[in-house]
Chains A and B, each alone.
Chain A
């Protein structure tokens, strides 16, 4: 059982569609990060959320942190082929010694 579950594992959509990916845990995060990893590259930080209920926007990407700080979502509006990649969430879990724990990721493929 993973400490941090991401869903879906894989998502293939057409250009212009909207999508949401989820990150869930039974534990409370002191903070949570979203990364994007493109083929042949390492993960690159997109955003960090800290406060329960926080919403952050990065162009067409909207990140939300759950009120209880146990879950987060990433919503992409009007997806483009350049959004293709592996989306990873990573959270600092207080009950695990403030360790940074990663989910397995969501592979997103946007077809033109």
Chain B
């Protein structure tokens, strides 16, 4: 148990569906992240939220829409996805030091395995 919980663990959706991934962290951290993990490729950072503000969007297609209502919860809304979006989506959290910003020592959830048909 890493203190970061992701739901659902598995999701199968059609290209016309709308679904949402949920992440909750119980570590008191103030930064949260979405990553995409595909086979044989490095983890791809998608979004970063720092103190509930989105601070990074790494050229992610608009069919992925993040939402961070508070520092403990993070959502990833999905719509009109493509088959190549099938992957493991990982959420992570970390503690940002006062007056600075550091993306180190991240704690990961178990991920949502997404299949787009």
Contacts and interface: CB of A to CB of B under 8 A. Distances in A.
Interface of A: 2, 4, 9, 31, 33, 35, 40-45, 48, 88, 90, 92, 98-105
A99 B2 CA distance: 22
B42 A48 contact: no
Nearest to A89: B42
Q: Is the interface of B mostly helix, strand, loop or mixed?
A: loop
If over half of A's interface residues share one DSSP class (helix, strand or loop), that class is named, otherwise mixed; here it is strand
A100 B42 contact: no
Contacts, number: 51
Q: How large, as a class, is the contact surface on chain B?
A: 20 to 34
Question: Top 5 A-B pairs ranked by shortest CB distance?
Answer: A42-B108, A102-B43, A100-B103, A102-B42, A104-B42
Given A92-B103, A100-B104, A42 B4 contact: yes
